[in-house]
Structure 1
Amino acid sequence: MIYRLTRLKNRILNISQRLGKSLMLPVSVLPAAAILVGLGYWMDPIGFGESTFISSVLVQVGLVILENIPILFAAGVSLGMAKERDGSAVLSGILGYLVVVRMLSPESVAVFRGIPVYQVSDAFYSIGNQFTGILSGLVGAQIFNRYSDLKLPEGISFFAGKRSVPIISTLMMVLVSMVLYVIWPMMYEMLIIFGTRISSLGALGAGIYGFLNRLLIPLGLHHPLNSVFWFDVIGINDIGKFWKAAGVYGETGMYLAGYFPIMMFGLPGAALAMSRTATKGQIRKTRSFMGTSAFASFLTGITEPLEFSFMFVAPKLYFLHALFTGLSLYIAARFQWIAGFSFSAGLTDYLLSIKVPMSKNMGMLLVLGVFFFFLYYFSFTYFIRKYNILTPGKELRKSKKEEESNLYTADFKKLGKNILKACGGGENIVSIDSCITRLRLEVSDPEAVNEKKLKAIGAMGVFKQGPYVQIIIGPQVHFIMEEMKLVVKDRLAAQ
Structure 2
Amino acid sequence: MLGYLQRVGRALMVPVATLPAAAILMGVGYWIDPDSWGAGNAFAALLIKSGAAIIENMSVLFAIGVAYGMSKDKDGAAALTGFVGFLVVTTLCSPAAVSMIQKIPVEQVPAAFGKINNQFVGILVGVLSAEVYNRFSQVELPKALSFFSGRRLVPILVSFLMIVVAFILMYIWPVIFNGLVGFGEHIQKMGSAGAGIYAFFNRMLIPVGLHHALNSVFWFDVAGINDIPNFLGGAQSIESGKGIVGITGRYQAGFFPIMMFGLPGAALAIYHCARPENRAKVAGIMLAAAFAAFFTGITEPLEFSFMFVAPVLYVIHAFLTGVSVFIAASMHWIAGFGFSAGLVDLVLSTRNPLATHWYMLIPQGIVFFVLYYVVFRFTIKKFNLMTPGRELAVVGDESDGYDVNIDTKTNGESETETLARRYISAVGGSDNLTSIDACITRLRLNVKDAATVNESVARRLGASGIIRLNKQSVQIIVGTRAEAIASAMKNVLAKGPVAASTAVPATVAEPAPQAVRNVDKTVIATLVAPVSGEVVALEKVEDEAFASKAVGEGVAIRPTGSTVVAPIAGTIVKIFNTNHAFCLATDDDLEIVVHMGLDTVALQGQGFTRLVEEGAVVTAGQPILEMDLAFLNANARSMVSPVVISNIDDFAGITLLAGQQVVAGETPLFEVKG
Larger Rg: 2
1:348 counterpart (344, 347, 351): 351
Query: Is the 8 Å Cα contact of residues 40 and 48 (structure 1) preserved in structure 2?
Result: yes
Partner Cα distance (1:191, 1:45) in 2: 35
2:147 counterpart (158, 168, 172): 158
Q: How does 1:179-218 map to 2 (within 5 A)?
A: 179-190=168-179, 192=181, 204-208=190-194, 211=197, 217-218=215-216
Q: CA RMSD in A?
A: 6.0
- Structure 1 residue 105, shift from structure 2 partner: 2.6
Aligned residues between the structures: 416
Partner Cα distance (1:417, 1:343) in 2: 36
> As a proportion of its length, which structure holds more helix?
1
Query: Is the 8 Å Cα contact of residues 192 and 329 (structure 2) preserved in structure 1?
Result: yes
Partner Cα distance (2:193, 2:455) in 1: 52
| Counterpart for residue 490 of structure 2 | 481
Q: How does 1:10-25 map to 2 (within 5 A)?
A: 11-12=3-4, 15-16=5-6, 18-25=7-14
| Counterpart for residue 45 of structure 1 | 34
- Structure 1 residue 34, shift from structure 2 partner: 0.9
Partner Cα distance (1:485, 1:266) in 2: 42
* 2:441 is equivalent to residue 440 of structure 1: no
Q: Deviations over 1:49-83 (max 9, x none)?
A: 12321111111122222223333333333333222
1:262 counterpart (241, 254, 260): 254
Partner Cα distance (2:250, 2:265) in 1: 22
Q: How does 1:450-465 map to 2 (within 5 A)?
A: 450-451=452-453, 464-465=468-469
Q: Which amino acid aligns with 1:348?
A: R
Partner Cα distance (1:36, 1:82) in 2: 30
Partner Cα distance (2:11, 2:299) in 1: 15
Q: Deviations over 1:293-316 (max 9, x none)?
A: 66xxxxxxxxxx999xx9xxx9x9
1:63 counterpart (46, 52, 59): 52
Decide whether aligned partners of structure 1 residues 340 and 239 sit closer, same or farther in structure 2, where only a CA change above 3 A counts: farther
Partner Cα distance (2:56, 2:127) in 1: 21
TM-score by length of 2: 0.46
> As a proportion of its length, which structure holds more strand?
2
- Structure 1 residue 37, shift from structure 2 partner: 0.7
Decide whether aligned partners of structure 1 residues 36 and 353 sit closer, same or farther in structure 2, where only a CA change above 3 A counts: same
SS of equivalent to 2:65: helix
Query: Is the 8 Å Cα contact of residues 126 and 223 (structure 1) preserved in structure 2?
Result: no
Decide whether aligned partners of structure 1 residues 89 and 194 sit closer, same or farther in structure 2, where only a CA change above 3 A counts: closer
Q: Deviations over 1:229-267 (max 9, x none)?
A: x9xxxxxxx978999xxxxxxxx9674585574266456
- Structure 1 residue 154, shift from structure 2 partner: 1.9
Partner Cα distance (2:376, 2:116) in 1: 33
Q: How does 1:7-406 map to 2 (within 5 A)?
A: 8-9=1-2, 11-12=3-4, 15-16=5-6, 18-190=7-179, 192=181, 204-208=190-194, 211=197, 217-219=215-217, 220=220, 224=224, 255-256=247-248, 258=250, 261-262=253-254, 265=257, 331=327, 337=331, 346-349=349-352, 367-368=363-364, 405-406=406-407
Partner Cα distance (1:326, 1:451) in 2: 34
Q: Deviations over 1:395-427 (max 9, x none)?
A: x9585998994336238899989979995985x
1:466 counterpart (463, 470, 481): 470
Q: Which amino acid aligns with 1:224?
A: G
- Structure 1 residue 142, shift from structure 2 partner: 1.9
Query: Is the 8 Å Cα contact of residues 248 and 354 (structure 2) preserved in structure 1?
Result: no
SS of equivalent to 1:140: helix
Give the number of the structure with larger relative contact order, counting CA–CA contacts within 8 Å between residues 6 or more apart.
1
- Structure 1 residue 102, shift from structure 2 partner: 2.1
Q: Which amino acid aligns with 2:224?
A: P
Partner Cα distance (2:423, 2:322) in 1: 51
Query: Is the 8 Å Cα contact of residues 406 and 425 (structure 2) preserved in structure 1?
Result: no
Query: Is the 8 Å Cα contact of residues 83 and 433 (structure 1) preserved in structure 2?
Result: no
Partner Cα distance (1:223, 1:26) in 2: 18
- Structure 1 residue 109, shift from structure 2 partner: 3.0
| Counterpart for residue 357 of structure 1 | none
Q: Which amino acid aligns with 2:42?
A: F
Q: Which amino acid aligns with 2:164?
A: L
SS of equivalent to 1:150: coil
- Structure 1 residue 153, shift from structure 2 partner: 1.8
SS of equivalent to 2:254: helix
SS of equivalent to 1:440: strand
Q: Deviations over 1:302-337 (max 9, x none)?
A: xxx999xx9xxx9x9999999878756765786xx4
Query: Is the 8 Å Cα contact of residues 152 and 159 (structure 1) preserved in structure 2?
Result: yes
Partner Cα distance (2:165, 2:285) in 1: 39
- Structure 1 residue 165, shift from structure 2 partner: 1.7
Unaligned runs of 5+ in 2: 203-212, 231-236, 271-281, 339-345, 380-384, 388-394, 498-674
TM-score by length of 1: 0.60
- Structure 1 residue 160, shift from structure 2 partner: 0.9
| Counterpart for residue 410 of structure 1 | 411
Decide whether aligned partners of structure 1 residues 29 and 272 sit closer, same or farther in structure 2, where only a CA change above 3 A counts: farther
